């Protein structure tokens, strides 16, 4: 099964590059979940999306296996490409190339710097995966985990760093008009409020100094 092979690859890369929980297997699963939800909501109006379903899910699963926070980005992309080209993975040549184009241009920092790429007929597939990744960013605990693991900060420092990130970036996603699909626009507003409640929880419990 393709998804099983993809997640085996995620396990391999996360182990090889010591990618922590914040960008590991659970994050890939969540990105896949949101990609599926956006896809299912969009295909009603855009039935031609069906032929891109597989490459959307592949992109969602492997999108952080070339993250520059953990490795040389170009080397990571080459490693992803090499794996996807293996015969037993079963992808078409255009799918491998499109996955590579999506995952190399979808990060928040890349979009803020360069804007959206022009991927032609694959543009909607690109936005589905990009938006799925943005929706996973509303997980406040995930941000704290990243700071604890990568920046080696304690719990309070991790909270303060994550809080700063959310105020400057994540909670600005809607203001910055980073969502195009109706599903993501609706879901992001729910996740926005959930993130604020989670931040308040951590603030309260840390004040008690448990």
57 and 154 together in one domain = no
* Tokens describing residue 129: 């995966």
96 and 167 together in one domain = no
Structural domain that includes position 164: 137-210
CATH number at residue 65: 1.10.472
107 and 33 together in one domain = yes
User: Whose CA is closest to 69, among 95, 107, 31?
Assistant: 107
105 and 47 together in one domain = yes
Q: Label residue 210 by pLDDT band (50, 70, 90).
A: low
User: Whose CA is closest to 163, among 121, 122, 202, 123?
Assistant: 202
pLDDT tens, residue by residue, 52-98? 999 999 999 999 999 999 999 999 999 999 999 988 888 999 999 99
Reply yes or no on whether the pLDDT at 135 is more than 60.
Answer: yes
Question: Do residues 136 and 30 lie in contact, with contact meaning Cβ atoms separated by under 8 Å?
Answer: yes
Q: Label residue 207 by pLDDT band (50, 70, 90).
A: confident
pLDDT tens, residue by residue, 181-202? 999 999 999 999 999 999 999 9
In a domain, 5, yes or no: yes
Average pLDDT for residues 35-49, to the nearest whole number?
97
pTM for the whole structure? 0.95
95 and 143 together in one domain = no
**Last-in-domain residue among 82, 115, 148:** 115
Cα 210 to Cα 207: distance, rounded to the nearest angstrom: 8
Distances in Å between the Cα of 11 and the Cα atoms of 14, 26, 46, 66, 77 are: 5, 10, 33, 13, 16
* Tokens describing residue 136: 């996973």
């Amino acid at each position: 099964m393709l998804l099983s092979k993809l997640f085996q690859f995620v396990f391999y890369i996360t182990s090889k590059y010591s990618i922590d929980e914040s960008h590991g297997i659970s994050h890939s699963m969540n990105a896949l979940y949101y990609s599926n939800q956006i896809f299912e909501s969009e295909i009603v109006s855009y039935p031609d999306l069906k032929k891109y379903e597989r490459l959307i899910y592949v992109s969602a699963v492997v999108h952080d296996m070339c993250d520059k926070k953990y490795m040389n980005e170009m080397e990571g992309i080459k490693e992803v490409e090499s794996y996807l080209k293996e015969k037993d993975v079963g992808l078409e040549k255009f799918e491998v190339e499109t996955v590579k184009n999506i995952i190399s241009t979808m990060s928040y920092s890349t979009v803020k710097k360069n804007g959206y790429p022009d991927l032609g007929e694959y543009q909607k597939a690109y936005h589905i995966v990009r938006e799925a990744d943005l929706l996973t960013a509303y997980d406040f605990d995930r941000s704290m985990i990243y700071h604890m693991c990568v920046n080696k900060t304690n719990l309070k420092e991790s909270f303060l760093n994550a809080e700063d990130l959310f105020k400057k970036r994540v909670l600005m996603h809607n203001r910055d008009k980073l969502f195009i699909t109706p599903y993501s626009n609706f879901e992001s507003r729910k996740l926005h409020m959930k993130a604020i409640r989670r931040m308040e929880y951590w603030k309260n419990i840390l004040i008690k100094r448990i």
